[in-house]
Amino acid sequence: MNTFADLTLSPVLKGNLAKHGFVTPTPVQAQAIPPALEGKDLVATAQTGTGKTLAFVLPLLERLLKNKTAKGSQALILSPTRELAMQISETFHKLAAGTGIRTAVVVGGLSERPQLADIKRGVQVIIATPGRLGDFIERRLVRLDTVNLLILDEADRMLDMGFLPSIQRIMGLLAPVRQTLFFSATIETSVAHLINKHLVSPVRIAIGNAAKPAEQVDLHMYEVDQDHKIGTLEHMLRIHDGTFMVFVRTKHGADRLADRLEQDGISSTSIHGNRSQSQRNRALKGFQDGQFRVLVCTDVAARGLHIEAVAHVINFDVPKVPEDFIHRVGRTGRAGLKGVATTFVTRSEWNDIRRIERNLNIRLERQMITAADKATIAAIPERLAQAPASKLQLVHTAPNQRPYSGGGRPQGGSFGPKKTFGARPKKFSAR
């Protein structure tokens, strides 16, 4: 399979692929779609940003089009987060246009009334998070006995989040004869147990090395005192172009950092588990559209958000485990673009960094902060509080992309040569 045109698909699907510019499949799509179309069980591991969503949505739609007379819901897609579920739904509707196939998105954080109304009207596909779907099952508001195709997206993340009992119960309610597709960034012991129990002779696909960051991401590290982290981040924002995703450990820390950056004239927002769905949607849309240059996140956003052209990832706080490092870093360097991931390390965290490097077989490039930079960083809070906001926002442009609104780029700084990795992030993508 070299192009999507090589596949035997319904004309409406071929037309939708062409309409949205899908011509050449990514490696995971090229290897996963043919066996999925044949009805085989599948286990696919690949790093984030490799096109897994399209790899399962396309064969799912083709299967449903061949069996349009079936009664009840025929397919279930489980995802770890509501954002990922909604993005899957967006991709699904692009490819399902004109097919008459209906979906219901069943997730927490949103009103259940329209979700239940969709289910009651009748849908062929349910896209759900395990928590809300499990609640509907407990209350006998949804039936799954007609579902003969199950897709678990980011399966390892769902297990990390404690959804194993819910997933096992859900799987026990599905049609006994079914096709099951597992898509994951890593296959750990708990995931392997599910595979061995519920899949029949699955085709196994591994794209790249899912146990280490993508090669197109430069890995940097700064040794920084805790009280100089904000100054170092703001200095980086002044001398480098592009958008920043900044990861912190706690929900309150995310809000505090975003508020501080806003006070210092840097357009920022935050996303974490305590924010409502409407707040999370506004934050993500504002970041995509260029309203915010910085998105401060907890690890809820490290997985399941497909945002292209993020130039920089900052580990403001060192990740707790090596797997979290991979998933955070995976927010940049997507779809063949170059990216930079920088980790701030205090002296007390050196052992954590060595463990990450050893377990992932990587090395973070040590970056030196000169005496002049240290003086600049130490003075940033006072100087930024007095400076007009228009002087604090950078112009960052890339070919064929709109510039980020703001003033001119301040001169100076010795963190290294100015680099451009793209302007604002693109819309959610299936790739």
Q: What is the pLDDT of residues 80-125, one digit of tens each?
A: 888 889 889 999 999 999 999 999 999 988 899 999 999 999 999 9
**164 within 8 A of 190, measured Cβ to Cβ:** yes
Average pLDDT score over residue span 280-309 = 82
For 82, the token pair is: 């509501």
- Is the pLDDT reported for residue 315 higher than 50? yes
What band does 424 get if pLDDT is binned at 50, 70 and 90?
very low
CB of 254 within 8 A of CB of 225? no
Here the tokens at position 46 are 């690949």
Q: CA-to-CA distance for 288 and 242, rounded, in angstroms?
A: 12
Highest-confidence segment of 111-120, 265-274, 405-414? 111-120
Topology agreement, domain 4-207 and domain 217-391? yes
Residue 184 above 90 pLDDT?
A: no
Note the pLDDT of residue 413. Answer: 36
Binned at pLDDT 50, 70 and 90, residue 429 comes out as very low
CA 352/CA 348 separation, integer angstroms? 9
pLDDT of residue 335: 65
Q: What is the mean pLDDT of residues 223-237?
A: 91
CB 214 within 8 A of CB 76: no
Higher pLDDT, 399 or 306: 306
| Cβ atoms of 372 and 395 closer than 8 Å | no
Rounded to whole angstroms, the Cα distance separating 297 from 330 reads 14
Q: What is the pLDDT of residues 53-64, one digit of tens each?
A: 999 999 999 999
More confident position, 298 or 427: 298
| pLDDT surpasses 60 at 408 | no
Q: Which of 188-192, 216-220, 357-361 has the lowest mean pLDDT?
A: 188-192
- pLDDT value, residue 337: 76
- Please state, for a pLDDT cut of 70, what percent of the chain lies above it: 81
Task: Decide which of 123 and 304 is more confident.
Answer: 123
174 Rama sector, left if φ>0, alpha if ψ -120 to 50, beta otherwise: beta
Superfamily of domain 217-391: P-loop containing nucleotide triphosphate hydrolases (3.40.50.300)
Of 28 and 189, the structure prediction assigns the larger pLDDT to: 28
Residues with Cβ < 8 Å from 53, sequence gap 6 or more? Answer: 87, 88, 91, 153, 306, 430
| pLDDT grade for 427, boundaries at 50, 70 and 90 | very low
Give the CATH class of 4-207.
alpha beta
Ranges of each domain in the chain: 4-207, 217-391
Looking only at the bridges linking them, the beta strands covering 244-247 and 125-128 are unpaired
- Look-up of token digits 């505090």: 256
358 three-state secondary structure: helix
Predicted confidence (pLDDT) at residue 161 exceeds the cutoff of 80? no
- Averaged pLDDT for residues 130-143: 94
The first and second tokens of residue 64, run together, are 């449903």
